[in-house]
């Protein structure tokens, strides 16, 4: 793999991720609007929001660490995109397996946590303590699912896992081979996205959007970009683990949008769980399902 080829891939993958992410955010807001019997935002609304936020005149910052927090949040996800194989581009998926991807996905939230810490705002600190507790909650089923898939595929390299699933069409998809793991993965995915039932750390009414309380202008713009990446990453991880990755771009995008649409449809029907209920729920059902799934996979 010569250096030029890699360089192109490393710049192209985040761009593709951003554009697809924009449309995923639009889909999310449209679904939310339709559920509330509203018209919903126009087509390019997420792009307008990000442009406006970057174009604001005064950008308020509380210190160098506040800026680095946003840079790590956006940069962490850009790095995570390059580890996600998409049709035609594998990036550095073979050099960094599933566990590394799970860890690289933690880097943005921890960088943001440092940035919010310096804002010295009690709402931000409470939001971060809830976000980390939620991360503790949803990472365990996510890791169990990773263990199951890696054990079944014999390798934790995403390219091999996708190749294994594309051997003979739908029958070899992860969702067909290991339905329990797939469902546990979907549950964990919903918690990772941090959408409504698990949105305790952005609770606007209680702690003024938690970590985002002191983020204005390009700081909030960075977080909107991160949201696009977050939706895209969640969708692509699930498709490559359970829905056989992407033979070509069309089926790949349809699968990713479908995967992201499922939690969002559920999200806007539920109020918010308390922190300990989030932990109790996510540690009970998906963990049990995942372990039973692993039991099936292991023997």
Which residues in the 194-213 window bind another protein by CB under 8 A? 200, 204-205, 208-209, 212-213
Chosen residue from 19, 51, 250, 254 binding another protein by CB under 8 A: 51
The answer to whether 37 contacts another protein (rule: CB under 8 A) is yes
* Least distance between another protein and beta carbon 26 (Å): 12
Instruction: Examine residue 8 and tell whether it contacts another protein (CB under 8 A).
Output: no
Stretch that binds another protein, among 151-159, 185-193, 234-242, 244-252 (CB under 8 A): 151-159
The CA distance from 122 to 214, in Å, is 11
**Letter string b/e over residues 140-169, b meaning 16 or more CB atoms within 10 A of that residue's CB:** bbbbbbbbbbbebbeebbbbbbbebbeeee
Query: Tokens 């950008």 appear where?
Result: 59
Of positions 2, 3, 4, 39, contacts another protein by CB under 8 A: 39
Nearer to another protein, 61 or 259 (CB): 61
42 counts as binding another protein under rule CB under 8 A: yes
Residue 99 near another protein by CB under 8 A: yes
Tell me if residue 86 falls in helix, strand or coil: strand
Binders in 52-81 for another protein, by CB under 8 A: 52, 54-65, 67, 70-80
User: What is the per-residue DSSP string for 226-275?
Assistant: HHHHHHHHHHHHHHHHHS---SSHHHHHHHHHHHHHHHHHHHTT--PPPH
C-alpha span between 183 and 170 (Å, rounded): 17
Residue closer to another protein by CB (options 221, 259) is 221
Q: Which residue is listed with tokens 């023997």?
A: 299
């Amino acid at each position: 793999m010569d250096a030029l080829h890699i360089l192109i891939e490393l710049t192209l993958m985040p761009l593709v991720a951003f554009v697809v992410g924009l449309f995923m955010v639009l889909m999310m807001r449209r679904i939310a609007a339709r559920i509330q019997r509203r018209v919903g935002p126009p087509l390019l609304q997420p792009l307008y929001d990000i442009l406006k936020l970057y174009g604001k005149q005064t950008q308020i910052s509380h210190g160098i660490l506040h800026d680095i927090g946003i840079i790590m949040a956006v940069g962490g996800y850009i790095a995570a995109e390059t580890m996600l194989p998409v049709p035609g581009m594998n990036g550095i998926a073979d050099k960094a397996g599933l566990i590394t991807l799970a860890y690289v996905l933690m880097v943005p939230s921890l960088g943001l946590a440092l940035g919010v810490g310096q804002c010295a705002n009690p709402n931000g600190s409470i939001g971060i303590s809830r976000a980390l507790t939620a991360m503790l909650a949803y990472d365990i089923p996510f890791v169990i699912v990773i263990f199951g898939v890696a054990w079944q595929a014999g390798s934790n390299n995403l390219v091999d896992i996708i190749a294994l699933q594309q051997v003979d069409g739908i029958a070899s998809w992860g969702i067909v081979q290991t339905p329990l793991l797939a469902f546990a993965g979907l549950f964990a995915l919903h918690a990772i996205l941090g959408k409504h039932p698990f949105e305790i750390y952005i609770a606007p009414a209680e702690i003024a959007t938690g970590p985002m309380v002191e983020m204005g202008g390009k700081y909030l713009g960075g977080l909107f970009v991160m949201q696009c990446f977050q939706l895209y990453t969640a969708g692509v991880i699930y498709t490559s683990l359970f829905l056989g990755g992407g033979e070509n771009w069309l089926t790949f995008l349809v699968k990713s949008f479908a995967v992201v649409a499922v939690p969002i449809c559920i999200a806007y029907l539920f109020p918010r769980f308390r922190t300990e209920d989030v932990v109790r729920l996510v540690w009970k059902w998906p963990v049990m399902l995942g372990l039973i799934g692993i039991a099936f996979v292991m023997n």
